[in-house]
Structure 1
Amino acid sequence: MAVSSAVALAPLTVRNRRPVGVMVAGGLLALVVLAAVFAPLLAPYAPDAIDLSASLVGTSGDHLLGTDSSGQDLLSRALYGTRTSLIAPILLLAVAAVLGVTLGVLAAWRGGWVDALVSRLTDVMYAFPGLLFTVLIIAVFGAGMTTSVLALGLAFTPTIAKYVRSLALSESRKPYVDAYRVQGMGGARICVAHLVPNLGRAILGYLVVLFGEALMSLATLSYLGFGAQPPSSDWGLMVQEGQAAVVQGALLPALVPGTAIALVVVSFNVVGVWAADRLGRQ
């Protein structure tokens, strides 16, 4: 009997463990967050400190990851760049979440012509590639990280709106919604106080999955010259600035920030899929 019980519990124990890949990715993200918080203490140099005598120096005791064409320490710039690379996607997704959740819940709750109007609006926005839509907005309002965040927030809104609408349609048919209606509670109050909070876990999991894509999109805009501007230490801008050094045989100025972007995006995708699965089951 004891042996049978142990065998029966074994799969459950294994199933409840976090996969090794998720733990590794989570550990890496934790280190990135710590680097962003303690960048002033960890960075050996100021991120904008220029030393032309140390231009394109390779790895050494003074510069662990080398320098760029201006002699700026790559480790220091990469550490400070974690701040922009983490905060900007969070702000982007916050803008998209507010607009997307509002539109999605409104379409599901009201239905009829409101649902049709929101659906057509999101379809029109889907007709333009997200990056092209963002570049058009930046062309009108000017380049910069603030404009990039707001423009990409609008570009991400249709994706979140359609996802939230599908969730809200199912949630709005549950008995507790009718119970609140019978009690005389208004639709806006039901949605804000009960419907949206009940969707919170699923929405949060979906936003975590989108974080990596948001980071990559912002880095792409910075690389193209539409996002962060010099002397920022944004990773996408660092890749663009280090591209010319590749021709001279210096790979580190582009490789260091490029590797950082790739590792963080992959880590967020791994953790995001796992978190979305767990939050969706609870």
Structure 2
Amino acid sequence: MTTVVSTLSPRPARPLGYWLASGFLGLVVAAALLAPVVAPYEPDAVDFSATLAPMSPGHPLGADQSGRDLLTRVLYGARTSLVGPLLLLAIASVLGVALGTLAAWHRGWVDTVVARLTDVMYAFPGLLFVVLIVAVFGNGMTTAIVALGLAYTPTIARYTRSVALGECAKPYIDAYRVQGMGGFAICVRHLVPNMARAIVGYLVVLFGEGLMSLATLSFLGFGAQPPSSDWGLMVKEGQPAIVQGAFLPVLVPGAAIALVVVSFNVIGVRLADRMGVRGA
């Protein structure tokens, strides 16, 4: 009897950290979507009799200086804290992928102009660039998202260019050219879709950084404005309570930010490894 030995290597098991991070993020997303249903109070419900209340059955995570329930505010704050990075990365992706693809396709002076443009953007520290935009157009979440989207554009453009250069060297590009297909059609219908896997993997890695950047702007007063329950703004508003010995108004939203960012980094690195994503 002949024994057939399989030469297929077993699929590597995902580490426990990946599953824990995925489960936690799934729980956070579900809680954000169901916040009006599962939150025990309204996010702006003030109760001065519960000012800086500790953890209790009535306030599982305590209350802030105005007696607002921290659990409720964290649940509602997850909405802006998760949607904000998605929007800024969407803006940066549209601009960055377009610039990176344009530079890789035309090369020559077009590549040089795009390279110089990204160099100029890198010459300014990202936060300083965002603050300059906010100073011109005013505070607010919309301005912060657009400003950060522009700040992330050079990073995505450079990464897209590096991926596009390798993709443009593949035979199918020449085959479509021989068939008479125009450059724009090739890029839109074939080149960009073929790069999507690598670009999406890279964006997942950037999501946690985008969340932290938005939280930083809200903490500095440039992003979300009161009475928003954005996590970065909650940390800022909870600072005065530290003097009174109450740490929950800062620890609760701060821990939420840290755990979500770490979870996205764990998942992002894992996905990047599986997709073969490399740094620009």
> Is the TM-score greater than 0.5?
yes
Question: Whose helix fraction is larger, Structure 1's or Structure 2's?
Answer: 1
- What residue in structure 2 maps to residue 89 of structure 1? 85
- Which of 246, 254, 262 pairs up with 2:250? 254
Aligned partner of 1:42 in structure 2 is 38
Match of 2:263 among 260, 267, 274: 267
Letter in 1 for 2:198: A
**1:221 corresponds to 2:235:** no
2:178 pairs with one of 177, 182, 185: 182
- Runs of at least 5 residues in structure 2 that lack an aligned partner in the other structure: none
User: Quick one: which amino acid aligns to residue 157 of structure 2?
Assistant: A
Structure 1 residue ranges, 4+ long, deviating more than 2 angstroms after superposition: 1-6
Q: Deviations over 1:44-65 (max 9, x none)?
A: 0000101111100000110000
1:238 to 234, 241, 252: 234
Q: 2:132 — aligned with what?
A: 136
Q: Tell me, yes or no, if structure 1 residue 20 matches structure 2 residue 23.
A: no
**TM-superposition CA deviations, 1:134-185 (whole Å, max 9, x none):** 0000000000000000000000000000000000011011100000000110
How large is the Cα RMSD of the aligned pairs?
1.7
Identity of aligned residues (%): 70
Paired position in structure 2 for 1:104: 100
Measured after TM superposition, the shift of residue 74 of structure 1 is 0.1
User: 2-side partners of 1:55 and 1:222: how far apart?
Assistant: 23
Counterpart residue number, 2:199: 203
Letter in 2 for 1:280: G
Give the drift of 1:279: 2.2
Deviations 1:8-49 (CA, angstroms, capped at 9, x unpaired): 87xx43x52111111111111100110111011110000010
Which residue of 1 is the match for residue 71 of structure 2? 75
Structure 1 residues 163-178: aligned runs within 5 Å: 163-178=159-174
Please give the alpha-carbon distance, in whole angstroms, between the structure 2 residues aligned to 1:190 and 1:148: 34
- The letter of the residue matching 1:261 is I
Corresponding residue for 1:157? Answer: 153
**Cα distance in 1, alignment partners of residues 151 and 266 from structure 2:** 23
**8 Å Cα contact 1:222/1:237 also seen in 2:** yes
**Offset of residue 114 of structure 1:** 0.6
How many angstroms does 1:122 deviate by? 0.1
Within 1, Cα distance between the matches of 2:227 and 2:4?
A: 65
Q: Following the alignment from structure 1 to structure 2, what is the Cα–Cα distance between the partners of residues 2 and 120?
A: 65
Counterpart Cα distance in 2 of 1:4 and 1:240: 65
Rate the CA distance shift 1:115–1:41 in 2: closer, same or farther, 3 A. Answer: same
Relative to structure 1, is the Cα distance of residues 174 and 58 closer, same or farther in structure 2, using a 3 angstrom cutoff?
same
TM-score (norm 1): 0.95
Q: Is the 8 A contact 1:108 1:115 kept in 2?
A: yes
1:168-225 per-residue CA deviation (whole Å, 9 max, x = no partner) reads 0110111000000001100000000000000000000000000000000000000000
* Residue type of the alignment partner of 1:205: G
- Report the TM-score, using the length of structure 2 for normalisation: 0.96
Kindly indicate whether the alpha-carbon contact (under 8 Å) linking 1:201 and 1:280 is maintained by their aligned counterparts in 2. no
Q: 1:214-241 CA distances to partner (integer Å, 9 max, x unpaired)?
A: 0000000000000000000000000000
Is the 8 Å Cα contact of residues 101 and 161 (structure 1) preserved in structure 2? yes
The size of the alignment, in residue pairs, is 277
Q: Offset of 1:256 from its aligned partner?
A: 0.1
